[in-house]
A and B are shown apart, each in its own frame.
Chain A
């Protein structure tokens, strides 16, 4: 039985003409609900296309606000919404596109404390997050609720997508039983991302969501898509359910939500700044330090980033080369490590500390803090 109005029949006519969708399929979409975690790069195209497709209820979880640096890829937001909550910006755009749907917003970080309450009742989850703790949390919530988790992830020119559905195939933990230690994998905030890439991957996630909801085609269950924009290559690998998986295996040890930040060793909800430590030096303190002892200034960013903003007198030692070039440094000399926001330099600091260096400091907040507090002639990026 369908109850599509004349208005809806006109709006969705291009769906109704496809035999795999038709009146019954469109009704199914109208009766469906999808929870989108994150309204950023991936969440933007997912939310727009699912709203346009007529998914009856769409949930959005995010607590971030729209920033100008988001607009290069987060196409659901616009310049006049900078400073507003992303969920409100997204909801306004979705309802502008399709007032016939319901958009429920959750202005909170997705955590072990609220995840089951938020996700219960949705037919599937779309993982559009930017950090490991929330990815493991989305996965586990989907496993416990017995619903699919549609995964997408991006870095620079590379994207991955899959449908993790423990009832019918592997879950995220089957492939990645544990996260990389903090710092081993750079984030997009540090590594950058092609603005169109989340469009490509997010659109694939939205496609998979529609297929799963309609029960048509072959979804990416047990398959991982590996996309590279530079080569324009779409490769697929097979994923198998891991019988020893801690959450969906035969003898699971994770049977309820855990502390994901502890599990991943990183905060899931990045505040943007670096973690404070005894080895930190603030931009103002560095000004004094340069006058007093002229420390060796080591910029650990990639060479092309120095073209964006640079401090006079620095030496460039990209993070990836530190281990092999350690011998070029003298542990008796004062050194200050510098990057964009203080995170990569923190990792560089750990490498130097591990090698026995003690006269080494980390510029808190990196070049962006330096630009803000000391040299406003430099840009923030």
Chain B
């Protein structure tokens, strides 16, 4: 099982968990596995047309899956996938 790292802003939707074990031979299936475990996170990743939202960046190791094969990017058991969130915080915060 690959590991999917959840960023802090999305952890309220995974019961506070940061590292989720996900099944699947590619990134898309790994996300299906995440959604099966934590349905509330769905609307943060996909839009109403079931497309991955433009501000959701998934990285496999150091690489953006957009620079690989997108949701079709193959995953191995030892891979580490992470969601990189868009965060705005800085000044007044």
Contact = CB atoms under 8 A, between A and B. Distances in A.
Interface stretch (A9-17, A129-137, A307-315): A129-137
Contact of A193 (B12, B63, B85, B89): B89
8 closest A-B pairs by CB: A188-B93, A40-B91, A320-B12, A38-B91, A188-B89, A130-B91, A155-B87, A130-B90
Interface in B42-93: 43-44, 53-55, 57, 59, 62-64, 66-67, 84-93
Given A127-B90, A176-B57, 7 more contacts: A155-B89, A160-B84, A187-B88, A240-B64, A242-B66, A270-B92, A323-B40
A155 B8 contact: yes
Interface string A162-204: 0000000000000111111000111111010100001000000
6 contacts: A38-B90, A40-B90, A130-B89, A155-B87, A176-B54, A185-B9
Interface stretch (A141-149, A231-239, A282-290, A333-341): A231-239
A129 B7 CA distance: 20
A180 B53 contact: yes
Interface residues of B, number: 29
A236 B62 contact: yes
A26 interface: no
A158 interface: yes
B12 to A, nearest CB: 3
Given A180-B55, A320-B13, A185 B88 contact: yes
B64 A237 contact: yes
A184 B44 contact: yes
Given A155-B9, A320-B40, A240 B67 contact: yes
A50 interface: no
Contact of B88 (A130, A175, A236): A130
B63 A186 contact: no
Contacts of B59: 237
Contact of B89 (A154, A226, A239): A154
Question: How extensive is the interface on chain A, given as a class?
Answer: 35 or more
A321 interface: yes
B9 A64 contact: no
Contacts of A135: 88
A158 B90 contact: no
B86 A180 contact: yes
A158 to B, nearest CB: 5
A191 B12 CA distance: 11
A320 B16 CA distance: 10
Interface string B18-32: 000000000000000
A242 B66 CA distance: 10
A179 B90 contact: no
Contacts of B87: 153-155, 158, 160, 185
A28 B67 CA distance: 37
Nearest to A198: B90
B9 A191 contact: yes
Contacts of A365: none
B8 to A, nearest CB: 5
A42 interface: yes
B63 A41 contact: no
A318 B40 CA distance: 12
A158 B7 contact: yes
Contacts of B9: 155, 185-186, 191
Contacts of B62: 236-238
Given A237-B63, A240-B67, A185 B93 contact: no
Contacts of A242: 66
Most buried by A among B43, B64, B66: B64
A218 interface: no
B55 A179 contact: yes
Contacts of A319: 12
A122 to B, nearest CB: 18
A68 B69 CA distance: 49
A170 to B, nearest CB: 10
Contacts of A226: 84
A240 B63 CA distance: 9
